[in-house]
Structure 1
Amino acid sequence: MHISFTKHDPRISTSSKGILEYLDKENIGRESELEDFQENENLEISFDDEQFGNQNLFFTNAENGEEKFFTKDVASDKIDGNLSNRSKENESKFFMLNISPGKDEIEHLNEVVNLELKSKGIGETETEILNQTEEGKKYLELIKNDLMHQSLREYTRDVMKNYAENFDRNVYTNPEKLPTQKEEKEINQFAKNELKNQGISPEDSRYAEKYQELREEKATELGKDLSVRKMNENDLVWFAKVEEKRTYKGNDNWVIANRKIQKRISELGYSTREDAKKEIEDLKKSLFKDRVTGKVIREGMQKGGQQYHVHVIVSRYDNCPNKRHRKSISPLSNHRSGTVANKNIAVGFNRDEFFKKSEQSFDQKFQFQRTRSYEKFNQQKKERRASLSINAKKTKAKLKSVGKSVAGNMAAPVKQEVLKNSGIQELSKLNLMNGVSRELGFRIPLSIPKSPMQMVYKITRSAVGKILDVGKGY
C-alpha cells in the first residue's frame, strides 16, 4: 500500500475547486461508456441504479451506517469554507492523500469481490455463462467494478480514522457551548491565579492537567463547557474519490528514458553509417514497454491493468463550529517527542505509524496476509544503510558486491509462499451465506446494483434453460 501527501500551493490557487474538477476527469469516460451500453438495442433493462452515479461523486464519513455523496461544488465549498481565524494567507489550506493499493492488494480485493458475488449466486458456472457474450461480460464487469469502488470507499474511511487518531489531538466536547473570548480570558486568569495560590508552577508536571481541570470548573459555573475529548474522523473535513485509471506522466523515469531513446532513433534515421540500421533495431528493443499491454510507454498513455486508487482532499483545520477554536492539523509536520514541565509529550504527525496502521487496517478488514509491509521495508532499509556504512571504506567494486548481496537478501518471497500467505485461504473459510462483506465486518456491507444483477440472473437462467432443453432433445 502506497500513501503519499501533497500540500495545496496557495500561490497557484486559494481554492480546492481546481483539484476537485481535475478529479472529475474520469466521469466523462465513465458516463460515455454507460450511455453507449444503455443505447444497445438488445438491452431490455435501463440503468437507473443510483450506485453507478455515486461513482462520479465524492464521498466522506458515513452517517448512521449510510454512505454520503457530494458533488465537486459542494465538496469544494465545504473545504474552502473550513478556515480558522488564525489562517495565514501563505499557508496550505488543504492536503491531498493518494492511496494506491499494490498489485497483490488489488488481486486480493478481486477475490473478495468474487466471493461476494458467489454469496449472491454468481459462482464459477454463472460467470462462465456470462463471459460467453459481450453483453454478459459487460454486466459482470460493471458489477465487479462497483463492488471494488465500495470496498475502497470502506477502506478509505478506515485510513481517515487512522489519520485523525495519529494527530493525538484534543477537541472540545461541546463546541456550541464554548465561552466567548472575554469569558475565556476570565476563565484562564482564574485558573492561573488558583494554581499560583496552590503553589503549582508551570514547570510542575501536574500544571497542564490541573490548569485544564480548573478551566472546566470555572466554565461550568458560567454555564459553558470547556471539556475535551480525543479528535476522531468526524472532526475532519474531507472528501474522496475512487479512480480506476492512470496515465504515464512526462516526468516518469520510463517516459524520460524512452524519449531519449526515440530521439536517438530519429537522429540515426538520417545516418548513412552501415551499422545505423542495427543500432536502431537494438534501440527499439531497449524501449520500455507497459508490462500489461506491451505497448511502448509514452507520456499520456494509459497504464495497463487495474489501476484503482483513491484521492482524498482534507482540510488543514478541524471542523469546530467556532472558527476561533479551529486547530491546524498538518500531516507534513514532523513528529517530535520531548519533555515539557517534566512531562513526556509528542507533537506533529507520525507518518511511519500512520503508514503502518493503514496497512494493518487493510489486512484486518480484508484478511490479507501481507508479505511485504512498510514496517519490514523500513527495517530492511536501516539494515542496508548499516551494511553500507560498515563497508564505506572499502573499494567501489566491493561496495557493489555488498549492494547486490543486500538486495538479494531483500528479495520478495517466491510465488508459492506469496500464494500461501495471501489470505485467500482465510477468505475461503468464511460463511458465504452471510455475504463476505458482512463476515469481514464492513460497517457498510457491499451491495450489488439492482438493474445489472437482474439482467445477470436473466442471462444465466436463459442459458441454463437452453441447456436443459437440449438435454431433453428439444
Structure 2
Amino acid sequence: MYITITPQKLGTHFNQSSQDFVNYLEKENEERTLENFEYFFNQTENDIKPDRVVAEIDSNTAKLKRNEPRFYSITVNPSERELQHLKNHPEALKQYTRELMQDYVKAFNREINGRPIRVEDIKYFAKIEYTRRFKGTDREVIGNQPIATKIQTLKDEVYRIQTGTTTGNLKALHDKIKCLELEAPHQLNGKRIVQGMEKPGPQSHIHIIVSRKDQSNSISLSPGSKYKASEVEFNGKQIKRGFDRDYFFSQAEKTFDRLFNYERNFMEHYTSRRDFVKDTSQFYKNLLKLPYPERTAAFKLMREAGIKLPPTVPVNQVQLAYKAFNALKRGVGIAVKSSSISI
C-alpha cells in the first residue's frame, strides 16, 4: 500500500481552483459510454458529478491566502497483491476509502468545539481509477531509452528522405527500425514499452480530493503540517495542532488488513520502508530476524518489484554480507523513489 499526500500546485503556485485536477481525473471517462461513467463518492454518497466536486471544493476556502493550498490530493495505491486479494472489486475499494478517511481525521491533533475531529467534519471527494500508464521515470521506459534514441534517429532520417531534403534507402531504414524494436529489453505483448502505454495487470487506485477547510469552512486542517502533535497560543487560547503521518500510514495498512483479512509481508509494511529510509541499521536488523519463510517471501517481493538482488545474497543464513546489503540498499532505494512512497 503506497499512499501519498500532496498539496496541489501549478508550477510554484498553489492551484486556486480544483477544476484542472478534476478534469484530469475525468480522463478515463473520455473512453467510456455515459452509462459506464465512473463518478466521485464521499463518506455517505455515490455518483457525485464532477461539477459538484469543483463547486464545493472551490467555495470552501474562507480566509485562505493565495500562498496556502486550497485542497490536498491523497492517492491510495494498493499493491498488485492487495488488489488480487480484493479481486479488484470497486465496492471493496470504496469501503476501504471510507474507513481510511476515518484514520485520516484521527491523525490530526486538533479539536472542534472541544472534541476530536470526526470524519463528518471534513469535506472530501474520491474517485477510483482502473488503469495506469508508463511514465518517463518508470524503469522499463528508462531501460528502453538507448533503443528509443536510436529508433528516433532513424525515423528522423526517414522523414528527411520522405521530404526530399536527403536521399537514402527507406526499406533498409525501416528494417533497421523493426530490428531495434525487437531488441528493446522491456516488451509488452511483443511491443517495446514506451511512455504512455497502458500498464498490464490490476492497476486500480483511488484519488481523494480533501478540502483544506472543514465542512463549516471555518477551521483549517493541514495534513502537510510539520508538527505531529503540539500546542500553540492563539488569541489567548491554547490551540492543538499537527498531523501524524506515521500514524496515518501505519493505520491505513492495519485497517486494510482488518477489513479484508490480509496477511502483510515484511516488505509491505510502511514501518519497513520508513526504517529503510531513516534507519537503515534497524531495517537490516529486522530483516535478519525474520523467520526463513518470511525472509524468502520478502526477497521474492523485491525481485517481483524489479529490484536486482546480488546472486550471492545468502537468504538462508543468519547474516547478510555487508557488500551484498549495500547492493540491496541501492536497489530498494530505486524502488522507493519510483513508487512515490510518501514518508
**TM-score of the pair, normalised by structure 2:** 0.68
Q: 1:170 to 1:255 in 2, by over 3 A?
A: same
Which residue is 1:97 aligned to? 74
- Residues 35-55 of structure 1: CA deviation (Å, up to 9, x unaligned): xxxxxxxxxxxxxxxxx5xx6
Residue 58 of structure 1, aligned match among 12, 37, 40: 40
Which residue is 1:9 aligned to? 9
Residue 262 of structure 1, aligned match among 134, 144, 148: 148
Aligned ranges 1:349-364 → 2 under 5 Å: 349-364=243-258
Aligned ranges 1:64-79 → 2 under 5 Å: 67-79=45-57
The structural deviation recorded for 1:250 is: 3.4
Q: Tell me, yes or no, if the aligned pair for 2:105 and 2:119 is still in contact at 8 Å.
A: yes
Q: Secondary structure at the match of 1:58?
A: coil
The structural deviation recorded for 1:83 is: 1.5
Which residue is 1:308 aligned to? 204
Moved more, 402-411 or 246-255: 402-411
Q: Secondary structure at the match of 1:28?
A: helix
Aligned ranges 1:330-409 → 2 under 5 Å: 330-336=222-228, 347-371=241-265, 372-382=268-278, 384=280, 402-405=322-325
1:149 and 2:41 correspond = no
Q: 1:379 to 1:80 in 2, by over 3 A?
A: same
- Residues 393-446 of structure 1: CA deviation (Å, up to 9, x unaligned): xxxxxxxx625236669999xxxxxxxxxxxxxxxxxxxxxxxxxxxxxxxxxx
Q: Name the Cα RMSD after superposition.
A: 3.6
Structure 1 unpaired stretches of 5+? 35-51, 111-144, 173-227, 271-276, 389-400, 413-474
Aligned-partner residue type, residue 116 of structure 2: K
Paired with 1:18 and 1:250, the residues of 2 have a C-alpha distance of 22
Paired with 2:67 and 2:274, the residues of 1 have a C-alpha distance of 34
Paired with 2:331 and 2:24, the residues of 1 have a C-alpha distance of 38
Paired with 2:66 and 2:190, the residues of 1 have a C-alpha distance of 47
Q: 1:339 to 1:19 in 2, by over 3 A?
A: closer
Residue 138 of structure 2, aligned match among 252, 265, 278: 252
The structural deviation recorded for 1:306 is: 1.3
Paired with 1:331 and 1:165, the residues of 2 have a C-alpha distance of 11
Aligned-partner residue type, residue 405 of structure 1: F
Q: Tell me, yes or no, if the aligned pair for 2:74 and 2:207 is still in contact at 8 Å.
A: yes
Paired with 1:256 and 1:362, the residues of 2 have a C-alpha distance of 33
The structural deviation recorded for 1:386 is: 6.9
Q: Tell me, yes or no, if the aligned pair for 1:384 and 1:406 is still in contact at 8 Å.
A: no
Q: Secondary structure at the match of 1:357?
A: helix
Aligned-partner residue type, residue 308 of structure 1: S
- Residues 286-321 of structure 1: CA deviation (Å, up to 9, x unaligned): 43234xx4532112111111110000000011112x
Paired with 1:283 and 1:403, the residues of 2 have a C-alpha distance of 36
Q: Secondary structure at the match of 1:261?
A: helix
Aligned ranges 1:268-279 → 2 under 5 Å: none
Paired with 2:322 and 2:56, the residues of 1 have a C-alpha distance of 53
Structure 2 unpaired stretches of 5+? 158-174, 234-238, 285-320, 333-343
Paired with 1:281 and 1:338, the residues of 2 have a C-alpha distance of 62
**TM-score of the pair, normalised by structure 1:** 0.51
Which residue is 1:418 aligned to? none
Aligned ranges 1:73-152 → 2 under 5 Å: 73-84=51-62, 86-110=63-87, 148-152=89-93
Indicate the structure (1 or 2) with the bigger Cα radius of gyration: 1
Q: Secondary structure at the match of 2:207?
A: strand
Aligned-partner residue type, residue 241 of structure 1: K
The structural deviation recorded for 1:249 is: 2.4
The structural deviation recorded for 1:233 is: 1.1
Q: Decide which structure has greater helix share.
A: 1
Q: Secondary structure at the match of 2:33?
A: helix
Paired with 2:108 and 2:229, the residues of 1 have a C-alpha distance of 13
Higher RCO (Cα < 8 Å, 6 or more apart): 1
Aligned-partner residue type, residue 270 of structure 2: Y
Paired with 1:166 and 1:80, the residues of 2 have a C-alpha distance of 24
Paired with 2:118 and 2:255, the residues of 1 have a C-alpha distance of 16
Q: Secondary structure at the match of 2:194?
A: coil
Paired with 1:57 and 1:282, the residues of 2 have a C-alpha distance of 42
Q: 1:282 to 1:9 in 2, by over 3 A?
A: closer
- Residues 163-203 of structure 1: CA deviation (Å, up to 9, x unaligned): 1110121012xxxxxxxxxxxxxxxxxxxxxxxxxxxxxxx
Q: 1:286 to 1:296 in 2, by over 3 A?
A: closer
The number of residues matched between the two structures is: 272
Q: Secondary structure at the match of 2:213?
A: coil
Which residue is 1:210 aligned to? none
Q: Tell me, yes or no, if the aligned pair for 1:237 and 1:314 is still in contact at 8 Å.
A: yes
Aligned-partner residue type, residue 40 of structure 2: F
Residue 101 of structure 2, aligned match among 157, 160, 182: 160
Aligned-partner residue type, residue 288 of structure 1: H
Moved more, 4-13 or 229-238: 4-13
Q: Tell me, yes or no, if the aligned pair for 2:272 and 2:283 is still in contact at 8 Å.
A: no
Q: Decide which structure has greater strand share.
A: 2
The structural deviation recorded for 1:28 is: 2.8
Q: Secondary structure at the match of 1:264?
A: helix
Q: Tell me, yes or no, if the aligned pair for 1:244 and 1:307 is still in contact at 8 Å.
A: yes
